[in-house]
Structure 1
Amino acid sequence: MEHSLSPYEVVLFVGILAAVVVSGNLLLGIVAAVLLRILSVLLDIRNSLSTLSEREVLEG
Protein backbone atom coordinates (compact mmCIF):
# COMPACT_ATOMS: atom_id res chain seq x y z
CA MET A 1 0.00 0.00 0.00
CA GLU A 2 1.37 3.39 -0.99
CA HIS A 3 1.31 6.20 1.55
CA SER A 4 0.89 9.71 0.21
CA LEU A 5 1.46 12.77 2.34
CA SER A 6 -1.59 14.67 3.44
CA PRO A 7 -1.57 18.47 3.18
CA TYR A 8 -1.26 18.55 6.98
CA GLU A 9 1.91 16.43 6.85
CA VAL A 10 3.39 18.60 4.10
CA VAL A 11 2.82 21.75 6.18
CA LEU A 12 4.44 20.08 9.20
CA PHE A 13 7.42 18.97 7.13
CA VAL A 14 7.95 22.47 5.73
CA GLY A 15 7.60 23.93 9.23
CA ILE A 16 10.22 21.56 10.64
CA LEU A 17 12.54 22.32 7.74
CA ALA A 18 12.11 26.06 8.31
CA ALA A 19 12.79 25.68 12.05
CA VAL A 20 15.99 23.75 11.34
CA VAL A 21 17.21 26.33 8.83
CA VAL A 22 16.41 29.30 11.08
CA SER A 23 17.77 27.79 14.30
CA GLY A 24 20.69 25.96 12.73
CA ASN A 25 19.98 23.05 15.08
CA LEU A 26 19.58 19.81 13.16
CA LEU A 27 18.90 17.81 16.33
CA LEU A 28 15.81 19.94 17.00
CA GLY A 29 14.43 19.04 13.57
CA ILE A 30 15.18 15.35 14.01
CA VAL A 31 13.44 15.23 17.40
CA ALA A 32 10.43 17.13 16.05
CA ALA A 33 10.17 14.81 13.04
CA VAL A 34 10.30 11.70 15.24
CA LEU A 35 7.66 13.06 17.62
CA LEU A 36 5.37 13.98 14.73
CA ARG A 37 5.79 10.51 13.20
CA ILE A 38 4.84 8.90 16.51
CA LEU A 39 1.79 11.17 16.70
CA SER A 40 0.83 10.22 13.15
CA VAL A 41 1.05 6.50 13.95
CA LEU A 42 -1.05 6.95 17.09
CA LEU A 43 -3.70 8.84 15.11
CA ASP A 44 -3.76 6.06 12.50
CA ILE A 45 -4.29 3.49 15.26
CA ARG A 46 -7.10 5.57 16.78
CA ASN A 47 -8.80 5.92 13.40
CA SER A 48 -8.50 2.18 12.76
CA LEU A 49 -10.03 1.36 16.13
CA SER A 50 -12.84 3.84 15.51
CA THR A 51 -13.58 2.27 12.12
CA LEU A 52 -13.53 -1.20 13.67
CA SER A 53 -15.98 -0.10 16.38
CA GLU A 54 -18.34 1.39 13.78
CA ARG A 55 -18.29 -1.87 11.81
CA GLU A 56 -19.13 -3.88 14.92
CA VAL A 57 -22.08 -1.58 15.68
CA LEU A 58 -23.37 -1.87 12.12
CA GLU A 59 -23.08 -5.66 12.14
CA GLY A 60 -24.99 -5.81 15.42
Structure 2
Amino acid sequence: MRNVLIFPEGYEIDFMYPKDKDLEVDLELEVKTNKGLEKVKIFDIKIQGNSIYYYLQYVN
Protein backbone atom coordinates (compact mmCIF):
# COMPACT_ATOMS: atom_id res chain seq x y z
CA MET A 1 0.00 0.00 0.00
CA ARG A 2 1.32 3.45 -0.92
CA ASN A 3 1.05 6.12 1.81
CA VAL A 4 1.06 9.74 0.64
CA LEU A 5 1.03 13.06 2.53
CA ILE A 6 -0.76 15.82 0.60
CA PHE A 7 0.34 19.31 1.67
CA PRO A 8 -1.89 22.42 1.36
CA GLU A 9 0.11 23.57 -1.69
CA GLY A 10 -0.80 20.29 -3.41
CA TYR A 11 2.58 18.59 -3.42
CA GLU A 12 2.83 14.94 -2.39
CA ILE A 13 5.38 13.07 -0.31
CA ASP A 14 5.43 9.27 -0.06
CA PHE A 15 6.23 7.96 3.40
CA MET A 16 6.55 4.74 5.36
CA TYR A 17 3.61 4.21 7.70
CA PRO A 18 4.84 4.21 11.32
CA LYS A 19 4.61 0.85 13.09
CA ASP A 20 4.01 2.40 16.51
CA LYS A 21 1.34 4.98 15.66
CA ASP A 22 -2.12 5.08 14.06
CA LEU A 23 -2.68 8.01 11.72
CA GLU A 24 -6.18 9.45 12.09
CA VAL A 25 -8.04 12.66 11.26
CA ASP A 26 -7.12 15.53 13.65
CA LEU A 27 -3.74 13.98 14.50
CA GLU A 28 -0.97 16.60 14.65
CA LEU A 29 2.45 15.71 13.22
CA GLU A 30 5.85 17.28 12.71
CA VAL A 31 7.11 16.72 9.17
CA LYS A 32 10.58 17.52 7.86
CA THR A 33 10.38 19.39 4.53
CA ASN A 34 12.65 21.64 2.46
CA LYS A 35 11.41 24.55 4.60
CA GLY A 36 12.44 22.81 7.82
CA LEU A 37 10.26 21.20 10.46
CA GLU A 38 6.56 21.88 9.79
CA LYS A 39 3.67 21.31 12.19
CA VAL A 40 0.70 19.86 10.33
CA LYS A 41 -2.61 18.21 11.11
CA ILE A 42 -4.40 15.49 9.14
CA PHE A 43 -7.83 16.82 8.15
CA ASP A 44 -8.91 14.08 5.70
CA ILE A 45 -7.91 10.56 4.69
CA LYS A 46 -8.90 9.00 1.36
CA ILE A 47 -8.22 5.53 0.00
CA GLN A 48 -7.95 5.38 -3.78
CA GLY A 49 -6.88 2.16 -5.45
CA ASN A 50 -3.60 1.02 -3.91
CA SER A 51 -2.93 4.34 -2.15
CA ILE A 52 -3.93 6.08 1.06
CA TYR A 53 -3.84 9.89 0.89
CA TYR A 54 -3.47 11.94 4.07
CA TYR A 55 -4.55 15.55 3.48
CA LEU A 56 -2.73 18.04 5.69
CA GLN A 57 -3.19 21.59 6.92
CA TYR A 58 -0.61 23.70 8.70
CA VAL A 59 -0.88 24.25 12.45
CA ASN A 60 0.14 27.70 13.75
TM class by smaller structure = under 0.3
- Structure 1 length normalisation: TM-score? 0.22
Q: Which has the higher strand share?
A: 2
Structure with higher RCO (Cα < 8 A, 6+ apart)? 2
Q: Which has the higher helix share?
A: 1
- Structure 2 length normalisation: TM-score? 0.22
Find the structure with the greater CA-based Rg.
Answer: 1
